[in-house]
Amino acid sequence: MIIQPYIPQGILKDFVNYIVFLSGADSGTGIAFPRMHQVIIINMGSNFCTSDIYTPKPILRECTSSVWINGKQDIPFMLENNGQTAMYAIGLKLGMLPYFAHLPAIETNDQAVGAEHWTAKEIFHLREQLQACSNIHAGFLLIEKFLTQQLINNPLPHLDKIKYIGKAMHTSSVEDICRSLGVTRKRLRSETQHYFGGSVKNIQGIIRFNRTLADIAQHADKTLSSIHEYYDQSHFINDFKARTGITPLQFKKLCQQMPDIKGTPNFISMQRETFLQFISR
């Protein structure tokens, strides 16, 4: 898969981590593990299908939308594309989805949500403009202009609070966040479900898991006990297996045999049959 990145500028950099263009004739099929960020996809290529990884004869769910939200997923899934992969992926910062989409973030947790359900038709006009672009960089600039205009034209309620929660969740407890904001646990839970897609505890668990995935992928030569942040080894193994269906050691072996995972620790570019054969050894 060819990945062409772009880092947004101006006001947008506070809301968007990156914009990338992903392409490749033999790419787009693999295993997606849980992630903490919502991503807006503008598809320029073939349709994707998703299914359960571990079911022998899974039901394929085709995404026929041309623009959708790839939400914060709590469970792994199989992604398949048998045609030409070509898409712009807009990686939103924690808590920023509701500033672009007219729905709570928690509604994007389980499946892709087509743009017709969460935004105005102008985003489809943006896609038409992207199709007519002479090069990928010009497409990045069009997306940046479009999203920046959305932010300028719309109110940004509770923005400072959401930025604070997004940062605090990496290091602070629920009690500390409630105390700093002067809110109850119930109020905090309601707001984080709306903006982040889950409770603070839930998001913190995914943040820690994502860090662990990246650390194993980047340091596959190190021992697992020297990498993870969990309270003990048993908790680490149980949590990892519950979130992925495989053990940390199996993931480490995948990383050792497939160095490209370093760049995409949440996505293993591999056919279902190859993956299941690998982990059954």
User: Which residues, given as ranges, of the chain have pLDDT below 50?
Assistant: none
Token pair listed for 75 = 């469970």
pTM score, two decimals?
Answer: 0.93
Residue 24's pLDDT is 87
Residue 228's pLDDT is 87
Distance CA 105, CA 67 (A): 16
CA angle 221, 202, 15 (to 5 degrees): 85
| Chain centre distance of CA 236 | 22
22, β-bridge pairs: 3, 87
Residue 78's pLDDT is 95
Residue 133's pLDDT is 95
